[in-house]
Structure 1
């Protein structure tokens, strides 16, 4: 049993604070580039350098999942756009904390959905690299449906890695 599985109940989710910024960057870049070899640099993701401006100030939020020792082991962000649209960004969980044992991704996703509903959002969209098949399965299991890029209801920046698009209508 991995350390994560042994401490499954101890993964907690909280709203990001600036003291966690470097851990957030390190976690995301590690998952993207070491675990999945996607090849996305920090320069391709300027939102990570100023989470307050890119997520919180416009009406969204950013959360971290913390291991029992306080380390950031997962992230998720929600950008608020006009007309009740939210963009799910930066759902990343370190390998030892993925899966049903820890429920890390599920806890992060639950925080995002609760916030989106409380904020009056009606639709959540996201982009994800086509090779991230495990992510696709998670999104579909949580009610998202894949859509063509032409049906994304809002324009936004993302590092295109042969991306797929998903949509969830909150009702």
Structure 2
């Protein structure tokens, strides 16, 4: 298993779309179209050239997980596109924790002091992960930065670093 910064290729793009579609639509039944997620088709410009990053986890040559950090300002970043296929969740692989550690280390090395995220209210498995890792639920008023998120009965979380 390798966790690497995203590098554009047709194969990587296709595998990433498959992973996100599976997690959002097949598994969670959120009915989110890829057309609503233009960032996935411009990862270097949206994430990597803005001072953030986008990581993929590969098992052999297959993308099995991803996570991204999108800067909002000099000190606040948004945790985005955090997905793993089910066999890689929890013990013994703990891919979610590995991906989150990669993002957290990057955020701390780049002087971010706060992470925020949005997640659908129905995604209780995600809520458990975030709360276990120190995030606390906040209101939109507590967000205190301009961040356009797709409100699908979303819950907002923050982590002070």
TM bin, normalised by shorter chain, reads over 0.9
Is structure 2 residue 53 aligned with structure 1 residue 64?
A: no
Distance in structure 1 (CA, Å) of the matches to 2:62 and 2:129: 23
Q: Tell me if the contact between 2:72 and 2:146 (Cα under 8 Å) persists in the aligned partners.
A: no
Distance in structure 1 (CA, Å) of the matches to 2:16 and 2:81: 10
Which structure would you say has the larger RCO, counting Cα contacts within 8 Å and 6 or more residues apart? 1
CA positional deviation for 1:31: 0.6
Distance in structure 2 (CA, Å) of the matches to 1:74 and 1:158: 21
- Answer with 12-21 or 58-67: which moved more: 12-21
CA positional deviation for 1:146: 0.4
Deviating above 3 A after TM superposition, structure 1's stretches of 4 or more consecutive aligned residues are none
CA positional deviation for 1:128: 0.2
Aligned partner of 1:18 in structure 2 is: 8
CA positional deviation for 1:153: 2.6
CA positional deviation for 1:157: 2.5
Aligned partner of 1:37 in structure 2 is: 29
Alignment match of 1:146 (pick from 112, 137, 140): 137
Deviations 1:46-73 (A, max 9, x none): 1111001111111000001111x22111
Aligned partner of 1:50 in structure 2 is: 42
- Paired residues in the alignment total 159
Distance in structure 2 (CA, Å) of the matches to 1:22 and 1:155: 31
Alignment match of 1:98 (pick from 89, 106, 112): 89
Q: Which runs of 5+ in 1 are unaligned?
A: 1-10
CA positional deviation for 1:83: 3.4
> TM-score scaled by structure 2?
0.95
User: Secondary structure of the residue that 1:102 maps to in structure 2?
Assistant: coil
Deviations 1:118-139 (A, max 9, x none): 1110000000000000000000
Q: Which runs of 5+ in 2 are unaligned?
A: none
> TM-score scaled by structure 1?
0.90
